[in-house]
Structures are given as structure tokens and as C-alpha cells.
């Protein structure tokens, strides 16, 4: 039995077609960033109130780079309360995306999971190609644990999360943290993460055109981020290629049924399970890549945020 595209996803495809918006792979980087920002703002729901929001700068491990970030504390939390923390990395093919585009999502996750959220504005390609984003993701996560006291968070209850490129960075940060012995991460929230830059799995062909994320866009982002052929095979770009995943924290993997990355996500979930990692995989069958942040358009977006928040809440109680 073939699955059906959700009517709300079909409506979005129709809106995009009527607008005759240029495909992202035809745009220069500055324009691609502008168009992506406009789409998030237009299709995001109203931003919920939070207890506090603070923009900050996080130093790189060497201290030479200042990584922009935004700290959220949930509505109803006391300033002196030590909260669990989600370190979050936005999507956008390592090339587009920013703090403002993911502001609504981070607010919602903070409130619903009753945790603090640090949204990390890691360096983007092509100005800063691979592995700059990886370095920033790990540095920000390590810094958050080391500065838990001043952030008002519990250093023993830290999760990482992200969507698409951000999901890639979250899982790579988790692997690096395991390999280096710090920081201790207790949970991974991975939303349609990019896990294999060399993928030729069936969903790439089946959903690679006409479902928001086209193969041309994937190639566009890869060429901005990965400058050398060897980078595609580096596990920090393609974590599915990392052989040893034992000892990683439990994960929730959220996928979309009409996403060219679907089979890569399923393969990564299977790879984690084979290594003894507890994994919950939930596929929103009628959805397309990117649906999580488009809550004004998709009912499933709210359902996915609720699912993510419940998983975070349960993990933080362990």
C-alpha cells in the first residue's frame, strides 16, 4: 500500500509552485539565506513567551572564534532554578539558517520540555567549510557543560538536538563527546538528520524532486560545505560511516515520509540499535523534509514538537 502525501504538504507544494519561487540551487548564498529566512518567518506559528531569552557568544575550544548563541529559559521557571539543557543546532544544509529562523521552535521546546535551550549559530559554509560547523557544535556543547553553573543548568542533564544539517551536527557532537570523554550527553533529539553524504538509497530517487528538498538542493549544500572528495567519506560529515556507535546516548529520530533523507535516517537508526543504543524512530508518513519549523502550515509540526518535548522530559527524569 503506497503512502499518501498529507493534504497540508500538498497545499504547501502548490503555494510554492504558484509563487514560482526560484529553486535554492539557482541562488547565490546571500539570496538563499534571505529566502530561507523569509520562508521560516512566513510559515512559523506565533512565538510563545518564555521566562527569559539572552543572546551570547560562546568561545571556540581555542578561544579564537566567538560563536553566537541564544539561551532560552521556559515560562514559569525561577531564575535560580537549575534546569536540564538542550543544546540545539539549526538546519539549513550547513549553509543557510540562523537563530531567528529557529526561534519559535526553541521557545516551544523550552516550554514544553521545561528545559533551558541553547540555540547555536555555528559558522556556515561556504565561508567556513567542513569541519568548522562540527568544531563549533562540539565546542558549544562542551562549553555549556563547563559553564553550567553560570547558565543556571544542570551539568548532569544535557541533551543535544537539531534538524537536518543540525541533526547531523548533534549526532556528531555526541560521538565526539563519547570519544573524548566529555561532555556527558544523556540524549539525542535528531530530526531528519543528514547521515550519509554518499547515499544512493531508494528514498533519494523516490522523493528527490517535488517534495521541498530536491536532490539539486542537497548537491548545492554539499558543494558549499564539503570542499574535498575525501570529506564526503569523513564520518564527521557522514556519521552513518562511523563503525563504532556503542555507548552513545539514547535517541529519538523523527523523520518525514516524503523526504529524500528518509532511508538514510532509518539506516542510522538501525546502525545505532545494532550498537546497543536505545532508539525510538517516529515517521510522520505524509510529511516532507523541513516540516518541523513550519507549524503555521502543518498540524504535524505541533505533534512532532510535542513528541520531542515528551522524549526530552522523559530523558531528563532518568
**Catalytic machinery residues:** 164, 259, 289
Contact between residue 254 and residue 226 where contact means Cβ atoms under 8 Å apart: no
Give 99: exposed, middle or buried? Use CB within 10 Å, 0-12, 13-18, 19+. middle
Distance CA 314, CA 240 (A): 26
Contact 268, 193 (CB under 8 A): yes
Retrieve residue 314's grid coordinates: 522523559
Concatenating the DSSP letter of every residue in 161-209 gives EEETHHHHHHHHHHHHHHHHT-S---EEEEES----TT---HHHHHSSS
SS3 236: coil
Distances, alpha carbon 96 to alpha carbons 35, 36, 91, 175, in Å: 9, 7, 8, 24
* Closest listed residue to residue 315, CA positions, set 139, 25, 85, 106: 85
- Euclidean distance between CA atoms 107 and 21, whole angstroms: 29
Q: Is-contact 238 168, C-beta < 8 A?
A: no
Cα distances (angstroms) measured from residue 22 to each of 17, 133, 165 = 10, 27, 22
The count of residues in the chain is 318
Amino acid at each position: 500500500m503506497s503512502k499518501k502525501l498529507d493534504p497540508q504538504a500538498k497545499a504547501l507544494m502548490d503555494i510554492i509552485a504558484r509563487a514560482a519561487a526560484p529553486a535554492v540551487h539557482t541562488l547565490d548564498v546571500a539570496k538563499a539565506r534571505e529566502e530561507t529566512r523569509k520562508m521560516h518567518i512566513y510559515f512559523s506559528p506565533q512565538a510563545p513567551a518564555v521566562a527569559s531569552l539572552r543572546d551570547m557568544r560562546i568561545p571556540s575550544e581555542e578561544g579564537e572564534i566567538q560563536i553566537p548563541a541564544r539561551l532560552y529559559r521556559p515560562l514559569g521557571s525561577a531564575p535560580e532554578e537549575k534546569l536540564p539543557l538542550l543544546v540545539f543546532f539549526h538546519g539549513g544544509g550547513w549553509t543557510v539558517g540562523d537563530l531567528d529562523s529557529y526561534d519559535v521552535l526553541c521557545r516551544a521546546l523550552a516550554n514544553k520540555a521545561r528545559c533551558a535551550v541553547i540555540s547555536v549559530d555555528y559558522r556556515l559554509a561556504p565561508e567556513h567549510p567542513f569541519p568548522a560547523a562540527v568544531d563549533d557544535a562540539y565546542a558549544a556543547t562542551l562549553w555549556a557543560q563547563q559553564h553550567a553553573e553560570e547558565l543556571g543548568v544542570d551539568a548532569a542533564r544535557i541533551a543535544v538536538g537539531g534538524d537536518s544539517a543540525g541533526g547531523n551536527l548533534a549526532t556528531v557532537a555526541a560521538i565526539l563527546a563519547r570519544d573524548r570523554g566529555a561532555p556527558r550527553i544523556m540524549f539525542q533529539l535528531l530530526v531528519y538528520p543528514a547521515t550519509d553524504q554518499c547515499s544512493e538509497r531508494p528514498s533519494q530517487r523516490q522523493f528527490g524532486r517535488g517534495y521541498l528538498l530536491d536532490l539539486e538542493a542537497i548537491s548545492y549544500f554539499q558543494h558549499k560545505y564539503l570542499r574535498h572528495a575525501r570529506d564526503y567519506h569523513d564520518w564527521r560529515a557522514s556519521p552513518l560511516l562511523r563503525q563504532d556507535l556503542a555507548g552513545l546516548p539514547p535517541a529519538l529520530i523523527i523523520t518525514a515520509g516524503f523526504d529524500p533523507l528518509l532511508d538514510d535516517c532509518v539506516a542510522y537508526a538501525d546502525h545505532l540499535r545494532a550498537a546497543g543504543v536505545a532508539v525510538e524512530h517516529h515517521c510522520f508518513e505524509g510529511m516532507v523534509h523541513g516540516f518541523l519549523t513550519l507549524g503555521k502550515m502543518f498540524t504535524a509540526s505541533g505533534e512532532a514538537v510535542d513528541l520531542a518535548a515528551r522524549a526530552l522530559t522523559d530523558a531528563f527524569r532518568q
